[in-house]
Structure 1
Amino acid sequence: MEEKQNVLVLNCGSSSVKYKVYEMPAKQLIAHGYLQQIERDQYEDAIRSVFDTLKDIPIHLVSHRVVHGGETFKESVCIDENVKAKIGELARFAPLHNPINLIGIEVAQSIYPDVMHVAVFDTAFHQSMPPSSFLYALPYEYYEKYGIRKYGFHGTSHRYVMGRVEELLERPKEQLRLISCHIGSGVSITAIKYGESFDTSMGMTPLAGLSMGTRSGNIDPGIIPYIEEIEKTDTAGAIGILNNESGLMGVSGVSNDLREVMAKAKDGHYRSQLALELFTTIIHKHIGLYLARLNGVDGIIFTAGVGENNPIVRELVCTGLEFAGVILDREANRSCKGEAFISTPYSMVKVMVIPTNEELIMATDAFELSRIQSDCST
């Protein structure tokens, strides 16, 4: 019988810490928690408090979420000093996240110095994209010298739901063309071709792509200097507006929470109605784009908080895709709880709701690495 190992999954965000402990290989969740609204100067203490709650649970492996792995990391890796140095270098692409991810790694290594630590990268899944998907139409030397390209995010989530589709459709991923819609406070859509990311909506940073809770998504780049001029701010100030004051919040003027925006829209609030229409239309357009890029698809997946729990958004997004073989079962969509098919039996494209589980992917990656690599030198 395979030896049991407890894997601590640590997800350090810009102002939060999520953690789960899985017993592997049984994939049994044995502990979890979530700390929010953490100030930067309190971050190390917050992480240590997580470990205090786990002092009675033996930890054999620690799996760390790292937002940006650039082109260096195409898969999860055992953390050593070289890996940490590279994560630090890549902070230029993710200044709010990679430094925090490194704090989590350093503190965890000080608490658990004798166990393997593994880094799982949001960007890794998307490193299979062809240049036609990841290059920007800029001077090519900007890519060669400075790494300016699309990297994509939410890769661990897209990987998880792809694996579940394999099981639900009883077909190997190598035979499937899928569109995965991760719709939460952050939103990304990925075109998956035969088990690999082929294109994705987020770019060099998570600001690009679709409209989100507070992020603008794609805009005319000429707007940025204009915002600087009219708001009497600098580039950092303009990017702050695009990151924190735009999206659902900016258009509705009500909230970055789609539930609140929808409630106001139902009451006749014009800007909330407009925010909802814009939010769903942009998702709809990206699905149309990826239908073309993949030359049709076998399945469309909705996941993350909004994707899993909001039938109105799913219906608005799917309406108008009937020409491509997407036939939504409106009753199944409305009554859906958890994992389910929401397309009709006659729909050529299977539409599915699949709750994501990024932490389970992270635990599985760490466990698999531990079986082939005995330790990491720190």
Structure 2
Amino acid sequence: MSSANQVLVLNCGSSSFKFALLNSETGTETLSGLAERLGSDDASITFKRNGNKNSLSLNDKNRHLDAIKTLVSYLETEGLSNDIAAVGHRVVHGGEKFTESVVIDSSTIKSIEDVSSLAPLHNPANLIGIEAAMVAFPGIPQVAVFDTAFHQSMPAKAYLYAIDKQLYKEKGIRRYGFHGTSHFYVSRQAAESLAKQISETSVITVHLGNGCSVCAIENGQSVDTSMGLTPMEGLVMGTRSGDLDPGITIYLMRKYGYDADKLDQLLNKQSGLLGLSGLSNDCRTLEQALESEDEQTQQSAQLALEVFSYRVAKYIASYTCALTHLDAVVFTGGIGENSDYLRSRIIAHLGVLGLSVDEARNTAARFGHSGPIHGNDSRAAIWVIPTNEELVIAQDAARLTFNHSQDNQQQGA
């Protein structure tokens, strides 16, 4: 393993991938960037290093592979390639097979393929990234870190749907949960902030971004979370509907001829804040629209944000049922970290739990600043903690690479 403990983290989507090169011990980021619009004529890759940005056009004949080759070339030119100890991959769905991160081999790839039907928009793209990286970085260990793994500690009463049990036994239909690396990271940071052992800490973590989820964490373990079989269940999100009467889909199919593709487009791409407001899926745009001189625009934005905050508050309140006590509510993610307006609105619904916000603290805790935002009379702490999923992936990759290397040395001895 490289003495520099540098891990390249890849997060591949169907038409883009994010990357970061960071030190797994210190969290120091040497390089980050984004390859986007893969599959189109204007595909590009952007590198961020030392405060500077550099964008290059991509040939894109081989989509992800071409982009990763460009990344490799950049790393070599900048003298960074020799320091890479491992490549860590975010994989969205691990099903019940993966309860923790693993070193990737042929059996791992086969298992990820086997559960790809549970995440058809995500896992195939993750696999493309893995296979491209294995070609581009021969000899460097590759590690898969699963969004679902942290939630495998949920009890059956939390993960089972009340449908024919054979659908779970034979087809794996159950609640899996997502954003696991984020909930894992901020819960550990919260325990440190509370000066408690994670094994004695009970928190509710609230990851709010374009995708949103809430997680109840008892003694460091996930005991319930709002996303389900797919990332669509639970909270109102940027373009996803969240919880929905399943009878609506049946009605749309029978009455208006909706098929699976049209329903998928509606519920994943045209719902949530975008669907409610008719304006945008971006909370910043909607908060700005609250000040619009156009009354209809203002009302549309207000309604969308009210539904959003009310739904989050309902989940927080309901998840106290899963805990023995409540030490803290923790906000994270792009919205959770930056929107003091929505944090205030969410906590305002939770007065019955004795939670309150100090508005001065709340306003100060934005744009990368962490800290407590609860009032002096609040019965539980309320914190804003920026997430760092890349660091979790890097740390798991470094740990497993070190253990894997030791195992190989022992076997060869």
Q: TM-score, normalised by structure 2?
A: 0.87
Q: Report the counterpart of residue 50 of structure 2 in structure 1.
A: none
Q: Report the counterpart of residue 344 of structure 1 in structure 2.
A: 375
Q: Distance in 2 between matches of 1:36 and 1:287?
A: 35
* Structure 1, gaps ≥5 residues long: none
Q: Report the counterpart of residue 70 of structure 2 in structure 1.
A: 49
Flag the structure with larger Rg: 2
Verify the 8 A CA contact 2:65 2:133 in the aligned structure 1.
no
| Secondary structure, counterpart of 1:368 in structure 2 | helix
Verify the 8 A CA contact 2:7 2:23 in the aligned structure 1.
yes
Residue identity in the other structure for 2:15: S
Residue identity in the other structure for 2:137: Y
| Secondary structure, counterpart of 1:164 in structure 2 | helix
Verify the 8 A CA contact 1:157 1:182 in the aligned structure 2.
yes
Matched, 1:37 2:68: no
Q: Report the counterpart of residue 141 of structure 1 in structure 2.
A: 166
Deviations 1:199-242, CA, capped at 9 Å, x for gaps: 00000000111110100011010111222345433122112210
Q: Report the counterpart of residue 150 of structure 1 in structure 2.
A: 175
Q: Report the counterpart of residue 12 of structure 1 in structure 2.
A: 12
Residue 24 (structure 1) shift: 3.6
Residue 293 (structure 1) shift: 2.5
Q: Report the counterpart of residue 105 of structure 1 in structure 2.
A: 130
Q: Distance in 1 between matches of 2:68 and 2:227?
A: 29
Q: Distance in 2 between matches of 1:329 and 1:14?
A: 42
CA 1:229–1:161: 2 relative to 1, 3 Å: same
Residue identity in the other structure for 1:303: T
Residue 330 (structure 1) shift: 1.2
Equivalent residue runs for 1:1-378 within 5 Å: 3-39=3-39, 42-55=63-76, 56-57=79-80, 58=82, 59-267=84-292, 268=295, 269=297, 270-337=299-366, 338-374=369-405
* Structure 2, gaps ≥5 residues long: 41-61, 409-413
Q: Distance in 2 between matches of 1:230 and 1:244?
A: 21
Residue 96 (structure 1) shift: 1.0
Residue 141 (structure 1) shift: 1.0
Query: What's the RMSD between the two structures over aligned residues?
Result: 1.8
- Number of matched pairs: 376
Verify the 8 A CA contact 1:116 1:375 in the aligned structure 2.
no
Deviations 1:283-328, CA, capped at 9 Å, x for gaps: 0100110123324410000000000000000000001323323121
CA 1:376–1:153: 2 relative to 1, 3 Å: farther
Structure 1 residue runs of 4 or more that deviate by more than 6 Å after TM superposition: none
Residue 356 (structure 1) shift: 0.4
Verify the 8 A CA contact 1:308 1:354 in the aligned structure 2.
yes
Q: Distance in 1 between matches of 2:192 and 2:354?
A: 22
Residue 373 (structure 1) shift: 1.2
Residue 272 (structure 1) shift: 1.8
Deviations 1:100-132, CA, capped at 9 Å, x for gaps: 111111111111111111000000000000000
Verify the 8 A CA contact 1:224 1:235 in the aligned structure 2.
no
Residue 166 (structure 1) shift: 1.8
Residue identity in the other structure for 1:32: S
| Secondary structure, counterpart of 1:259 in structure 2 | helix
Verify the 8 A CA contact 2:24 2:391 in the aligned structure 1.
no
Q: Distance in 2 between matches of 1:115 and 1:202?
A: 34
Q: Distance in 1 between matches of 2:255 and 2:285?
A: 30
Q: Distance in 2 between matches of 1:66 and 1:284?
A: 29
| Secondary structure, counterpart of 1:225 in structure 2 | helix
Q: Distance in 1 between matches of 2:313 and 2:25?
A: 39
More displaced 10-residue stretch of structure 1: 70-79 or 320-329: 320-329
Q: TM-score, normalised by structure 1?
A: 0.95
Residue 5 (structure 1) shift: 2.3
Identity over aligned residues, as a percent? 42
More displaced 10-residue stretch of structure 1: 166-175 or 194-203: 166-175
Residue 51 (structure 1) shift: 2.4
More displaced 10-residue stretch of structure 1: 66-75 or 341-350: 341-350
Q: Distance in 2 between matches of 1:349 and 1:104?
A: 42
Residue 259 (structure 1) shift: 1.2
Residue 46 (structure 1) shift: 2.4
Deviations 1:117-176, CA, capped at 9 Å, x for gaps: 100000000000000000000111111111000000000000110111121111011111
